[in-house]
Chains A and B, each alone.
Chain A
Amino acid sequence: MKQDFDVDALVDDLAVNLRRMIEAEALVNPALVGICTGGVWIAERLRTLLRLEEPLGELNIAFYRDDFSRVGIHPTVAPSRLPFDVDNRDLILVDDILYTGRTVRAALNELFDYGRPRCVKLVVLFDRGGRELPVQADLVGAHLKLGQREHAKLIGPENLALEIHRGRG
């Protein structure tokens, strides 16, 4: 089922708040880095809305996940692409849904294999709680209240929508 969120409006609000954050924290030429695949869709929109000059970075964290020993290699479409120098850069990491925090942990590890950024901010469209690691977002579009067996997924890249379904078992 689809949840009643106007995702486009949430992204617009997120862009406004991100603009404020960039100014308040005096970030210099910040580059957006989306986590594949939902995070890339959001980052792309934010970049257009904020008219940021830096090209978009895409992170595919398949090689950095902590569940290789349980599930093997995750099938994914594209490799990571960071078309700018990461060293000393202000980065804004973007994901669609923040849950356990393990994806963000993996993304940070991968980012540091490209260089040493000056700072990394975390922006997420949805925060559904349930953290297993000490990871918090700097900006959140909306909070979700979900049961443990419920799964949330962003549908896109055209007509962004949030899909919620009851999980297995």
Chain B
Amino acid sequence: MHAANLQLDSHGRLRHFLGIEGLSRALLTEILDNAERFAPVGDRAVKKVPLLRGKTVANLFFEPSTRTRTTFDLAAKRLSADVLNLNIEASSTKKGESLTDTLRNLEAMQCDMFVVRHQTSGAAEFIARQVAPHISVINGGDGRHEHPTQAMLDVFTIRRLKHDFTRLRVAIVGDVAHSRVARSEIHALRILGVPDIRVVGPKTLIPPRVETLGVSVHHTLEDGIRGADVVVMLRLQQERMQSALLPSAHEYFREYGLTPQRLKLAARDALVMHPGPINRGVEIDSAVADGAQSVILQQVTYGIAVRMAVMSMVMATQSLAQGGNSGASDDD
């Protein structure tokens, strides 16, 4: 079964959130609309709503992460869920416990949701197939495959600031080949109707046949960001710089680093985005990262609302599956 089907219940409601590929525009829009409703919660005196009171969320991070884990943590807490943060790399697997045994134990602790980050592509889907039916799985990034909540917070940021997807030019710059953010983002932008999506980077970092995803390929930054409304800079991983794929960080910055001067080639009001953590002086100049067009920190804030939306939607689907559905009284 395709992951897109595994994510939905028989009524088309979100049951797991594993990847963007194959989802409908209506569903992505529903996530964005719900995130819009959760966004103001962060501005209140009490940054919390009681929606997921009594639910338990386990963050299963097999790979280190600060931003993604903390924003999932905050999102769950702002929904009043209880949160377990498991750094699995450091615990059970080292003691020889199998993944399946770890999952069984968490089920026995009556968890309701697993947020999974793993270095292997397909890990979240694998876990979604293993878990008890009352548990929902959210992909917090799997290998080079997908990072769907990151893509959703990016398109949420774009929608808030640019409003209309159907006339946008979006450039995704950097290590597209190894980036799950780029993959999820390309799918999300396509599904939401962005007509001009460009991937920009050296040949060694652009995946073969990427054009089949509906994007154009550019090998110079100048060419790629010309007239763009949104420039998404990807993080250059340390291991890439040490490998044979690139000469050096310094060299990379000279060719692909986003400087104030190069940014002038983009649309005058272009947004600069980055999933973080940023490498200043490698893929982005500090003057751009901290500049007026940068929305990098807004992305972090919006990430909480987007994750609240996804978490509450999968839990709502679970509730409806487990009985209920008796219909709301309309006038109490």
Which A residues have a C-beta under 8 Å from some C-beta of B?
Answer: 60, 62-64, 67-74, 76, 78-81, 86, 97, 99-103, 109-110, 112-115, 128, 151-153, 168
Contact = CB atoms under 8 A, between A and B. Distances in A.
Contacts of A151: 329-331
Contact of B319 (A69, A114, A115, A152): A69
Given A63-B49, A113-B49, A72 B331 contact: no
B37 interface: yes
Nearest to A73: B316
Given A71-B320, A114-B46, A99 B328 contact: no
Contacts of B48: 113
A64 B312 CA distance: 13
A56 B316 CA distance: 31
A72 B45 contact: no
Contacts of A73: 34, 51, 312-313, 316
Contact of A71 (B39, B44, B50, B324): B324
B326 A76 contact: no
Interface in B30-54: 34, 36-41, 44-46, 48-51
Interface residues of B, number: 30
Contact of A74 (B39, B49, B326, B328): B328
> Majority SS of interface residues in chain B?
loop
The CB with the most chain A CB atoms within 10 A, among B40, B50, B327, B328, is that of B50
A99 B46 contact: no
B329 A79 contact: no
24 contacts: A60-B37, A62-B37, A63-B41, A67-B328, A68-B51, A68-B316, A70-B323, A70-B328, A71-B326, A71-B328, A72-B319, A73-B34, A73-B51, A73-B313, A79-B38, A80-B40, A81-B40, A99-B329, A100-B332, A101-B332, A109-B50, A113-B44, A114-B45, A153-B331
Nearest to A81: B40
A128 B34 CA distance: 32
A125 B319 CA distance: 33
Interface of B: 34, 36-41, 44-46, 48-51, 312-313, 316-317, 319-320, 323-332
Nearest to B46: A113
The CB with the most chain A CB atoms within 10 A, among B34, B317, B324, is that of B324
The CB with the most chain B CB atoms within 10 A, among A73, A99, A113, A114, is that of A73
A99 B312 CA distance: 27
A99 B331 contact: yes
B127 to A, nearest CB: 24
A84 B179 CA distance: 44
Given A63-B51, A69-B324, A112-B46, 14 more contacts: A60-B37, A68-B316, A71-B319, A71-B320, A72-B319, A73-B313, A86-B45, A97-B331, A99-B332, A109-B50, A110-B49, A151-B329, A151-B330, A153-B330
Contacts of A112: 46
Contacts of A71: 319-320, 324-328
B294 to A, nearest CB: 26
B215 to A, nearest CB: 34
Contacts of A128: 331
The CB with the most chain B CB atoms within 10 A, among A72, A86, A113, is that of A72
A79 B45 contact: no
A70 B331 contact: no
A37 to B, nearest CB: 12
A100 B328 CA distance: 13
A70 B325 contact: yes
A135 to B, nearest CB: 11
A63 B313 CA distance: 12
